[in-house]
Amino acid sequence: MAKRWRNPFGAKRPASHQWRGVLNEYADRLDVTSKTPIISLGEGGTPLIYSPSLSARTGAKVYVKFEGMNPTGSFKDRGMTMAISKAVEHGAKAVICASTGNTSASAAAYAAYAGITAAVLVPEGKISMGKLSQAVAHDAQILQLQGNFDDCLDIARELADNYPIHLVNSVNNDRIEGQKTAAFEIVDVLGRAPDFHFIPVGNAGNYTAYHRGYREEIARGVTSVLPRMFGFQAEGSAPLVNGAPINNPETIATAIRIGKPASWDLAIAAHADSNGYFGAISDADILAAQKVLAAEVGVFAEPASAISVAGLLERAEAGVIPKDALCVLTVTGHGLKDPQWGLKRADGSEVSPLVVPVNADEIASVLGMSKGH
């Protein structure tokens, strides 16, 4: 039974091969056995992009880990391949999650591949259209709760505690385990861990996962550097910065509109261990950073993901980042998840591309060019 999920190439790598997903690539560092079905869409192996522009702006050496390149367009796939594989290993026929959008899209896709049911609880009217569209397309049972994300998670936990349904939020340690592989990839590529790691924070599961991954790389002896974990929340939704949960989080970055981070204690421990930092960023600065990332790096990210860039620029401005420090920014989700923001100028007005006649000379003049080469 388990056999049909296994990679046809087995453990041996053919000379030319494609990335085989994080469970296959890092089987030796995850709780994966011959009994574990590999429910994979080829997640992980995402680009680590050096940015001359962000490096010039900050004086640091800046790399962007573009997690929008995962199968469903966000980092959630790394954790979901692990969580769904383990759920199926243990006989689950149905999974449930609460979500601000990306977790639901990912759970829906991996459950579809596994042939099991996914139920997702999302805050009514507060998730982006791209994410809702994904969950619908993958045939999840979508329930819009008349509450916020934190209410969704409370209900999802209650259902998993009392009914035959398996919880795949990041309170499930399998999710964190899968997500730590992003840190492995970074160390694989750079040959060492970075000095600073910048990352958006909602439930703080990913912040926790990277720290764990880096700690394990140190334990393996492949790097001696423990990156300082710099996490960022939206100003109206910044419980870890404020030091207390909040009841009514608000931000345009709906992915991180979370008032009671599920991984609070783990994140506090990772913060302390890494001499880390939690900072708050205004919605205006998030959108400005999204623009910088798209226009200067060539990476289109959803607003929540751009907070890593905003955080880097803010900390560099504050004088905290030494010259030539090695910095990695996680860009957690693709801009196409929530494309409306790409169509706005910094002042919030809509961009409407110019309409031109079918005439090359007129178009050249609009582009400010005169004839010649």
Nearer to ligand AN7, 37 or 73 (CB): 73
Q: Is 256 in the site for ligand AN7 (CB under 6 A)?
A: yes
Contact between 227 and ligand AN7 by CB under 6 A: the answer reads no
Which residue among 255, 266, 280, 310 contacts ligand AN7 (CB under 6 A)? 255
Residue 113 beta carbon to ligand AN7: minimum distance, rounded to whole angstroms: 18
Binding segment (CB under 6 A) for ligand AN7, from list 35-43, 184-192, 298-306, 355-363? 298-306
Pick the piece of the chain touching ligand AN7 (CB under 6 A) from 56-64, 99-107, 155-163, 344-352.
99-107
User: Total binding residues for ligand AN7 by CB under 6 A?
Assistant: 22
290 binds ligand AN7 (CB under 6 A): no
Judged by CB under 6 A, the stretch of 32-40, 43-51, 302-310, 339-347 that binds ligand AN7 is 302-310
Binding residue for ligand AN7, selected from 201, 238, 270, 328, defined by CB under 6 A: 201
Q: Tell the smallest beta-carbon distance from residue 204 to ligand AN7 (Å).
A: 5
Stretch that binds ligand AN7, among 97-105, 311-319, 340-348, 351-359 (CB under 6 A): 97-105
Q: Which stretch binds ligand AN7 (CB under 6 A): 47-55, 94-102, 181-189, 216-224?
A: 94-102
Binding of ligand AN7 at residue 206 (CB under 6 A)? yes
Among 22, 39, 304, 316, binds ligand AN7 (CB under 6 A): 304
Closer CB to ligand AN7, 58 or 330, in the complex? 330
**3-state SS of the chain?**
CHHHHCCCCCCCCCCCCCCCCHHHHCHHHCCCCCCCCCCCCCCCCCCEEECHHHHHHHCCEEEEEEHHHCCCCECHHHHHHHHHHHHHHCCCCEEEEECCCHHHHHHHHHHHHHCCEEEEEEECCCCCHHHHHHHHHCCCEEEEECCCHHHHHHHHHHHHHHCCCEECCCCCHHHHHHHCHHHHHHHHHHCCCCCEEEEECCCCHHHHHHHHHHHHHHHHCCCCCCCEEEEEEEHHHCHHHHCCCCCCCCCCCHHHCCCCCCCHHHHHHHHHHCCCEEEEECHHHHHHHHHHHHHHHCCCECHHHHHHHHHHHHHHHCCCCCCCCEEEEEECEEHHHCHHHHHECCCCCECCCCCCCCCHHHHHHHCCCCCCC
For ligand AN7, the binding residue among 170, 172, 223, 251 (CB under 6 A) is: 170
Q: Which positions touch ligand AN7 (CB under 6 A)? A: 74, 99-103, 170, 200-207, 255-256, 302, 304-305, 332-333
